[in-house]
Amino acid sequence: MRALVFVFLLFFILPVAVSGQSDYRAGSLSQINVNFKVLQNWKLNTKLETRQIFSEKEPEALASHRFRYERTDLSAVLTTKLSADNTLGGGYLVRLEDKKFTHRLIQQFNNVKNLDLVSIAHRIVTDETFSSGEPAEIRLRYRLGLEKPLNGLQIDPKEFYAKFNNEYLGIWSTKQTDLEIRGLLALGYNATDNNKVELGLEYRVSGFSETVRAQQFWLSIGWFISI
Amino acid sequence: MIKRKHFVNLTFSLLAPLLWIPCLAQKKYEREYSIKPNAVPENAISFVSSVFKKAKIHWYREEGLTGKSIEAKLKSSGKRYSIEFDESGNIQDVEVLSRVDQMNSAGRAKLKENLGKKFSGYKIVKTQLHWNGSEKALKESLLKDKAVAGIVVRYELIVKGSQGKKEHYFEVLSENDGEVVSLKEIVQRNTDNLIY
């Protein structure tokens, strides 16, 4: 019950409270992840993600509550299993936003352990982003992920689960240095081991080097398929 | 030129197949889920409550290709127990979370030698003491906290081991004297949604 109250405060009361003061964005993040097995120990993850804004406030501007499509990301990451728990991967992302393309190179390391009651995942990512007219941006990211079945001890087919992510991003470019913190609480449905849907609420805060923080509130919808 | 409308249409088109998910889940599967005590056979409840008077008991039903079973999981005096029954409530076996150094030293040495032959490198990540026997013998063993006469003692180990260049998790069933009864690779759960 406490968790529900916390989530309610975080995602419904807080945005209203902050909207009058700081910059914010609220909207939906929808993503489809399709994973292909290629060769013995290799997997290719392809992801299509779109962002839609429902409400936003830019610096020195009034809040806008109009729906608008923001951007689409398409990425491909190739990963290999280093050991039973560890994977290493690299990939490429292309983003279309305001009719302009942005390119990103991705390197990632993952450690996932399935314990008796919970799965714990550590993800370390470095990425380099390039777009015309902007200085190159380098990010170092760490994400802790927890997943817990809502019935029984393991996530079986046709069962629901809870997922929590907490991510820290260090951002460097010649223009700025910043930190972004993300938190996600999601409800997942495991239709089969290779077919999952997740619906969650994500909060992001950045602008730690600025006088006013920038906040983001997302309704996140994810579909994960493995072929 | 790509218009916003096209992206909205694309997004919804890609999300529409979500409606197919229930149809995709019609395959055979194994699962376990928690059940309330009133769904547990009376003789299973009376067996567990006769041994563990104060422990909080969690009941689970397991459905697999080989049949259905009922399991009681509980913690008592710092030990974690897992007691398995058939659907009618007849006890099948008892598992107690343990450590491999609880095994007698000769058995441990033999097990180490056997695992060394199976794997180029390995680490034991979980050990469970496995008791099999009559209901009377199992009850007496639980009450005395040691295997009595008539109980077959085995060890069930979860081992992270390398065979060649590949490392996987394995379930190893070992006799008390260290002889390996079975060795099965554990199919790891898909965790793509935690990686990407």
Number of domains in chain A: 1
Q: What angle do CA B78, B80, B85 make, to 5 degrees?
A: 145
Residue that wins the pLDDT comparison between A117 and A222:
A222
- CATH number of residue A13's parent domain: 2.40.160
Residue A198 has pLDDT above 80, yes or no: yes
- Check: CB of residue A30 under 8 Å from CB of residue A50: yes
- Check: CB of residue B190 under 8 Å from CB of residue B177: no
CB-nearest to A226 from B27, B167, B190 is B190
Mean pLDDT of chain B: 86
The answer to whether B29 contacts A84, with C-beta atoms less than 8 Å apart, is no
Six token digits for residue B124: 């034991």
Q: B20 to chain A: nearest residue by CA?
A: A191
B166 touches chain A (CB under 8 A): yes
**pLDDT tens per residue across span B129-180:** 999 999 999 999 999 999 999 999 999 999 999 988 889 999 999 999 999 9
- The domains located in chain B, with CATH, are 29-89 (3.10.450), 93-196 (3.10.450)
The answer to whether B31 contacts A158, with C-beta atoms less than 8 Å apart, is yes
* Best mutation target, B11, B15, B74, to test chain A (most A CBs within 10 A): B11
- Check: CB of residue B71 under 8 Å from CB of residue B128: no
**pLDDT tens per residue across span A182-193:** 999 999 999 988
Report CA torsion sign: A18, A24, A28, A30.
Answer: negative
- Check: CB of residue A205 under 8 Å from CB of residue A13: no
pLDDT at B28: 42
Task: Quote the DSSP letter at residue B177.
Answer: T
pLDDT at A209: 80
In angstroms, the CA B90 to CA A179 distance is 58
Closest to B23 (Cα-Cα) out of A195, A150, A187, A162: A195
- Model confidence at B9, pLDDT cuts 50, 70, 90, reads low
B34 touches chain A (CB under 8 A): yes
In angstroms, the CA A226 to CA A34 distance is 6
- A29/chain B closest Cα distance in angstroms: 10
In angstroms, the CA B59 to CA A86 distance is 33
Between β-strands A23-38 and A214-226, what pairing exists: parallel, antiparallel or unpaired? Answer: parallel
- Model confidence at B25, pLDDT cuts 50, 70, 90, reads very low
- B11/chain A closest Cα distance in angstroms: 7
- Check: CB of residue A128 under 8 Å from CB of residue A102: no
- Model confidence at A210, pLDDT cuts 50, 70, 90, reads confident
In angstroms, the CA A74 to CA B31 distance is 35
Residue that wins the pLDDT comparison between B15 and A117:
A117
- Check: CB of residue A180 under 8 Å from CB of residue A205: yes
Amino acid at B42: E
Six token digits for residue A155: 């996530």
Which domain does A59 fall in, by range? Answer: 2-226
Six token digits for residue B170: 């394995």
Average pLDDT over residues A73-91: 96
Please count the other Cβ atoms lying within 10 Å of the Cβ belonging to residue B20. Answer: 11
Rounded to two decimals, the ipTM of the complex is: 0.86
- B25/chain A closest Cα distance in angstroms: 6
